């Protein structure tokens, strides 16, 4: 009798699991149907890009975007929206961007270049100096102060075009941009030029953050388009080349750049927060469509899909649109400080910041004390998501949610087909025309599906 009872209970649990999984599969299908048939992400992103492009943190464009997204969140049924106070160092590109190289006859030829974020400008007269080409920061040390002093250093190490993982290729080259001008300044250089961070050959210079050491004299740093980097390198092989630079960019100090928050309170476990988000700021030269307007509207769409389907979450679902990811991470740091001081617990945080391309899956990270347990648990859901072309992997997730790791919840990054991401990253070319509507909608559906499963089952 006891054996029969055990068999019956086992069969009951087995059938219950099957029925529950069938219900989950049906819900995930409904989520995708809603995203693809009635999706709001593309029109939202269009308005964000066209009306509030170039939204560097602290700018009027950023504040316009913050108001725009907060109003959308407030319009969703059951969603409470708000600003979270945050300040960011506002960097102004200015109105001068003159960069020329000399040809064999001494004639000045224009170069496609942009000041790097947080760079200082030149004097009013500009800078004219001989160029020295290097492949990396170690070359500066090898050359020494006597050979570097007074010169313009040209960092020309390309991203590795053979790397299938484009973010790995980016990581292998971006030190030139991030720390190159400061390193050159340490050895007395007059300015620094950096080959743009892309495998594409084009005329678009890719801006991005550069960081100065406090103890080093700051020199101007500029990104050079890949076509013009090749042109300059070729000219240097034929003989000495000088470059003229005249810019007036500068950091103007702290300005208000609030995070935007929208949330639905959980019905059973309101103190367990599931965060979804992206960063609302962008560089000033483009519309910030892929980086990261896409991630912001996808996060907002998760709440819209839930409300449209009449889904009432067990846990608190919170959208956070972070400020200042591009040149300081003030939004992510401010949010984590506020959350920790209020003793909040983020069960999970999902960030979308790899462009609005076709979703390929999710990456997972967490404190080592909880990661194995959490990852083993969520891996059970993979069969339900594989039919949508999604996979799971361990690894990096997102800059803005990284400061929440100490809360020992699960950090998640949406992974997309990133082969074309660095064609647009940090350029004037990052516009709404570069985004495919269906791919953007599929990303939102994938995120909503993951949030649904975490909300229903937790992560342990």
| pLDDT tens digits along 78-132 | 999 999 999 999 999 999 999 999 987 888 999 999 999 999 999 999 999 999 9
Find the mean pLDDT for residues 323-338: 97
How large is the average pLDDT for residues 424-451? 98
Number of H helices, E strands in the chain: 14, 18
b/e code 49-70 from CB counts within 10 Å (16+ = b) = beebbbbbbbbebbbebbebbb
Q: Is the pLDDT of residue 4 over 90?
A: no
Task: Round to whole Å and give the CA distance between 158 and 199.
Answer: 7
Element (H, E) at 130: strand 127-134
Residue 104 three-state SS: coil
* pLDDT over threshold 90, residue 9: no
For 181, the 3-state DSSP assignment is helix
- The dihedral built from the CA positions of residue 318, 323, 325 and 329, taken in this order, carries a sign that is negative
Average pLDDT over residues 443-451: 98
**Shared fold status for 27-90+254-457 and 98-248:** no
Q: 156 pLDDT band (50/70/90 cuts)? A: very high
Higher pLDDT, 78 or 460: 78
Give the per-residue pLDDT at 458: 97
Tokens of 451: 């949030």
- Per-residue pLDDT for 430 more than 80? yes
Confidence bin at 13 (pLDDT 50/70/90): very low
Per-residue pLDDT, averaged over 150-172, amounts to: 97
| Whether residue 243 has pLDDT greater than 50 | yes
CB 98 within 8 A of CB 191: no
Residue pair 73/79 in contact (Cβ under 8 Å)? The answer is yes
Q: Is 393 helix (H, G, I), strand (E, B) or coil?
A: strand
CATH topology of domain 98-248: Glucose Oxidase; domain 1 (3.50.30)
Q: Average of pLDDT values for 251-261?
A: 97
Residue 14: is its pLDDT beyond 50?
A: no
What does the pLDDT average to over 363-383?
A: 97
User: What's the rounded mean pLDDT across residues 425-443?
Assistant: 98
Q: Cβ–Cβ contacts within 10 Å for residue 331, how many?
A: 28
Average pLDDT in the chain: 95
Architecture of domain 27-90+254-457: 3-Layer(aba) Sandwich (3.40)
- Evaluate if residue 17 carries a pLDDT over 60: no
Q: What share of the chain is helix, strand, coil (3-state, %, to 5)?
A: 40, 25, 35
Enumerate the domain spans of the chain: 27-90+254-457, 98-248
DSSP string, 27-70: HHHHHHHHHHHH--HHHHHHHHHHHS-S--TTSHHHHHHHHHHH
């Amino acid at each position: 009798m006891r054996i029969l009872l055990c068999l019956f209970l086992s069969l009951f649990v087995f059938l219950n699991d099957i029925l529950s999984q069938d219900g989950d599969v049906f819900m995930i299908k409904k989520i995708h149907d809603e995203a693809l048939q009635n999706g709001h992400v593309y029109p939202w992103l269009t308005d964000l890009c066209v009306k509030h492009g170039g939204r560097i943190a602290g700018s009027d464009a950023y504040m316009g975007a913050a108001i725009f997204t907060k109003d959308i969140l407030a319009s969703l049924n059951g969603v409470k929206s708000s600003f979270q106070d945050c300040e960011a160092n506002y960097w102004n590109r200015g109105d001068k961007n003159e960069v020329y190289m000399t040809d064999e006859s001494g004639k000045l030829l224009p170069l496609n270049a942009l000041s790097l974020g947080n760079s200082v400008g030149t004097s009013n007269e500009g800078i004219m100096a001989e160029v020295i080409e290097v492949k990396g920061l170690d070359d500066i040390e090898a050359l020494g102060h006597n050979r570097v002093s007074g010169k313009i250093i040209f960092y020309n190490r390309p991203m590795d075009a053979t790397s299938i993982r484009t973010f790995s290729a980016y990581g292998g080259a971006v030190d030139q941009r991030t720390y190159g001008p400061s390193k050159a300044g340490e050895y007395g250089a007059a300015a620094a030029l950096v080959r743009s961070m892309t495998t594409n050959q084009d005329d678009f210079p890719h801006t991005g953050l550069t960081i100065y050491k406090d103890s080093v004299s700051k020199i101007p740093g500029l990104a050079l388009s890949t076509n013009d980097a090749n042109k300059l390198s070729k000219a240097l092989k034929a003989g000495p080349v000088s470059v003229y630079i005249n810019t007036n960019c500068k950091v103007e100090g702290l300005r208000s750049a609030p995070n935007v928050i929208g949330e639905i309170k959980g019905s059973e476990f309101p103190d367990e927060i599931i965060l979804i988000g992206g960063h609302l700021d962008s560089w000033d030269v483009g519309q910030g469509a892929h980086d990261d307007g896409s991630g912001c509207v996808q996060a907002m769409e998760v709440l819209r899909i839930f409300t449209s389907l009449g889904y009432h979450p067990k846990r608190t679902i919170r959208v956070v649109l972070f400020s200042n990811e591009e040149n300081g991470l003030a939004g992510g740091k401010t949010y984590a400080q506020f959350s920790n001081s209020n003793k909040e617990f983020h069960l999970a945080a999902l960030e979308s910041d790899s462009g609005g391309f076709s979703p390929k899956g999710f990456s997972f990270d967490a404190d080592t004390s909880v990661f194995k347990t959490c990852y083993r648990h969520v891996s059970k859901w993979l069969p339900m998501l594989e039919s949508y072309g999604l996979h799971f992997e361990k690894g990096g997730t997102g800059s803005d949610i990284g400061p929440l790791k100490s809360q020992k919840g699960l950090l998640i990054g949406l992974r997309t087909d990133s082969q074309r991401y660095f064609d647009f990253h940090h350029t004037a070319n990052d516009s709404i025309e570069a985004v495919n509507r269906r791919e953007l909608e599929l990303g939102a559906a994938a995120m909503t599906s993951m949030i649904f499963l975490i909300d229903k089952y937790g992560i342990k």
